[in-house]
Amino acid sequence: MAEIRQNPATKEWVIIATGRVKRPEDFVRDEPEEALPHHDGNCPFCPGNEGKTPPEIFSNKGKDGKWTLRVIPNKFPALEPNGQIDREEASNFFRRMDGLGRHEVIIESPFHDASLGLFSLKETLEIVDAYKRRYCDLITDNRFKLVTIFRNNGKGAGTSLEHPHSQIVALPVVPVHVRNRLESAMRYYDDHGHCVFCRMIGMELKSKKRLVLKNDDFIAFEPFASRVPFETWIVPLRHQATFGEISKKEMKGLARILKSLFEKFYRGLNNPAYNLIVRTAPTGDEGEEYYHWHIQVIPRMTTSAGFELGTGVYINVSLPESSAEFLRKV
């Protein structure tokens, strides 16, 4: 029979369609990867084209003086830094506010054909460091209530530029999608007196069936109620509510986990399209006991359709336990 599982942290239900289950090997991308040039003269993120982007916020440079990573404002931002935070109600019903926020891009490498799955540990740590630096700077603006870091890899994940990059968006509101996750974790804390994510870490370490990677600071696993094949969560072992609380030592541990995981994705699954999202509590919730920041990686190997859109319940045709075993062996 099919199995319906619930994620204890989000309360989301997932159908594990055992009658349709595929082997992990069936999700390996079989089409050849399009070869990208080392440098693209038309790419605004490639060296020599810096004038095609807004002035950089900061950059890292090597001993040769050439940049290895750049952070810039998005040229076509979803939100603008100027505006009013006040909310208005039109006709006493519809609510609106200015599109206030910040939208930035982290250009992760000078090489157009680089891939997170093949980055060195030093290069990966450079990205984690940029995440932390920009996050901590953006939260100093008390107009912003949530800072979201994300990475789109591949056209199937919504990327418009192939050059490796991540994005950061600072919002003046906490979206209901995020609020629901926070409230679910808060209810668990109220009922049990401890963090649901800490409990989940303990269960995954005890079971080991869905464990993919572990070091002194982080754990990576396939959630019990994975919504899609090879969905992976990366969670710090030390309880911390917001991403900004990560220590320098933990940044190195996160870089090691990211490097290992995405090398497995690259070599074992032929570099699939995916979305990476840093799930963090809102600004001002530092030190809270109810929430535990984490990274969610969502491969784009299947397509959501009417049932998922209509119910919010995903149908997964891959057993999380099998996906974890496959990744461990890569």
CB 317 within 8 A of CB 20: yes
CA distance 138 to 168: 9
CB 170 within 8 A of CB 101: yes
From 103, 112, 165, 239, active-site residue: 165
| Angle between helical axes of 121-138 and 248-269 (0-180°, round to 10) | 120
Give me the torsion for CA of 125, 127, 128, 133, rounded to 10°: 120
Minimal CA–CA distance to 304: which of 228, 250, 235? 228
Task: Report how far apart, in Å, the C-alpha atoms of 97 and of each of 80, 173, 248, 295 are.
Answer: 12, 10, 37, 29
- Is 192 catalytic? The answer is no
CB 326 within 8 A of CB 305: no
Place of tokens 């784009």: 300
Residues forming the active site: 165
